[in-house]
Structure 1
């Protein structure tokens, strides 16, 4: 946890560059201080208000879940990249897409997709996609509530063993 906070603080202090460049720099900073058993997954992004473009880089984290309103489809957006601290001098890739009116972007941890029910079945990405799609006409706050309710209902009596962290962006313009 302390290492994760340190990485985020370092990221906040960096110059305004591309996510892939900042990920490479972060990787180098922590590579020397991390043990073989440790690593940090992360998806780093920047949003350009003028062009409505989200540019992101991925260090072994989950893909972005994106609802594209104009096409009425759910998409997964990712680029390959290893966890921070895993390989020295690793060059991260980045990708971009435009966020249009009505689009929804979900950043999430594996605590959602790996939530288990009493039959040891995983919640999975398809269920998450279904919840977002079925609530696409609602506010980001209501989508959040729907996701949490669906996970709780799915788990039943099974204890949640991993954290559930997510951010929902919904474009109004």
Structure 2
């Protein structure tokens, strides 16, 4: 999940640029979230103008091991509702946003985290649109 800086047309164009970068990554880069973020940062930085950025969480699910490995590039925390305890945990291993740092500085800052998932656990991913949403009844 990702979120582009800016609003309106600027934000929409940046989101499209990021989508294009992601779709053009070599397939082997999708297997490791850290490698995915490093290459996405490199390509996005070459594509967008200074001052713009994208936050993102990227994960690879391993259903046989019941694990998800994630990398977080400045995005809001990923939440997991643990069914066994009925508690929600936030996973906040933040790295820097995409498109700001040069590749040599970005690479060492991004990390992966592997999380065990039990049956019926739920992943909750969202953007700041959740925080900014307004109740239609309140105008």
- Would you call these one fold, judging by a TM-score over 0.5? yes
For these two proteins, the number of residue pairs brought into alignment is 120
Q: Which runs of 5+ in 1 are unaligned?
A: 117-153, 159-173
Kept in 1: contact 2:75–2:94 (CA 8 A): no
Q: RCO (CA 8 Å, sep 6+): is it higher in 1 or 2?
A: 2
Ranges of 4+ aligned residues in structure 1 off by more than 4 Å: none
The answer for the alignment partner of 1:14 in structure 2 is 27
| Higher mean C-alpha deviation, range 98-107 or range 30-39 | 30-39
User: Greater Rg, structure 1 or structure 2?
Assistant: 1
Higher strand share: 2
The answer for the alignment partner of 2:91 in structure 1 is 77
The answer for the alignment partner of 1:146 in structure 2 is none
Kept in 2: contact 1:65–1:75 (CA 8 A): yes
Q: Give me the whole-angstrom Cα distance separating, in 2, the residues matched to 1:33 and 1:18.
A: 23
Kept in 2: contact 1:10–1:26 (CA 8 A): no
Kindly provide the CA deviation profile for residues 6-25 of structure 1, in whole angstroms up to 9, marking residues without a partner as x.
122134x4314310111101
The answer for the alignment partner of 1:111 in structure 2 is 129
Kindly provide the CA deviation profile for residues 25-63 of structure 1, in whole angstroms up to 9, marking residues without a partner as x.
111112122211211111100000110101100111111
Alignment of 1:76-155 (within 5 A): 76-89=90-103, 90-91=106-107, 92-116=110-134, 154-155=135-136
2:138 to 148, 157, 166: 157
Q: CA deviation at 1:155?
A: 4.7
1:52 to 66, 69, 73: 66
Q: Which runs of 5+ in 2 are unaligned?
A: 1-14
Task: Tell me the SS of whatever aligns to 1:85.
Answer: coil
